[in-house]
Amino acid sequence: MTGPDPDLPELNPELTADLDVDPALAAAVLEIESHIAEGGWDQPARLYALVDTGQLVAREPALAAAMGLDAASEQGSLTPVEQDELAPDQPLEAVLESIVWPGGVAGCAAVVERLVLPPDADAEIPEDRARAEEFAREHPDRQEVRIVAGATRGGSTYCALRLRAHDDAQSVVGGADLVPALLDLLCSTLVDDPEESR
């Protein structure tokens, strides 16, 4: 994924109307969500660094030019930079527990597809992880959801959720705290690295 795409469909303005939402983060998360949606479902988890677009233009002018970015038009925005593909046997959560972003990264975002069950199924979910996954796959009321969650070094968070059963841009749900556990993991990767401060 490169910078902002002028051909992206119009995003639902209600998704960014919340006063507590960082507009630059929300725009980056929704851009990622729209980009991923173009590839359909059953995609692997993905991880993105979010960099200040103005700083990217200043530090990497050739890369910025190739992405169609310039400092004036992108002031105050974040550019998603996709990271290397995650290994298939590495759960996203385990990867997030093992990384710390360098100081030049303003934020990060993750994309993951999950099965969700209705709240009344919670008591029936087996303790064993493998059996719990099988239970979710076979549950008649399961829903498939794609989650795009982002966080910034300043503490802002934003999520966009799309259900496979309602697979259109107008049905995307957005909010600052829709997936708290994943957001906490993302925030934990943005702590200052003690090695960098030496």
Domain-embedded: residue 176: yes
Place of tokens 């233009």: 57
Domain-embedded: residue 8: no
Q: Give the chain's domain count.
A: 1
Domain-embedded: residue 76: yes
For the cut 60, the answer to whether the pLDDT of residue 97 exceeds it is yes
Domain-embedded: residue 132: yes
Domain-embedded: residue 101: yes
Domain-embedded: residue 104: yes
Distance in angstroms (rounded) separating the CA atoms of residues 64 and 32: 18
Higher pLDDT residue, 21 or 70? 21
Tens digit of pLDDT for each residue in 45-79? 999 999 988 887 778 777 777 777 765 555 678 99
Tens digit of pLDDT for each residue in 153-187? 999 999 999 999 999 999 999 999 999 999 999 99
Domain-embedded: residue 123: yes
For the cut 50, the answer to whether the pLDDT of residue 7 exceeds it is no
Domain housing 68: 22-188
Distance in angstroms (rounded) separating the CA atoms of residues 192 and 105: 11
Domain-embedded: residue 50: yes
DSSP string, 123-185: GG--SSHHHHHHHHHH-TT-EEEEEEEEEETTS-EEEEEEEGGG-SGGG-EEESSSSHHHHHH
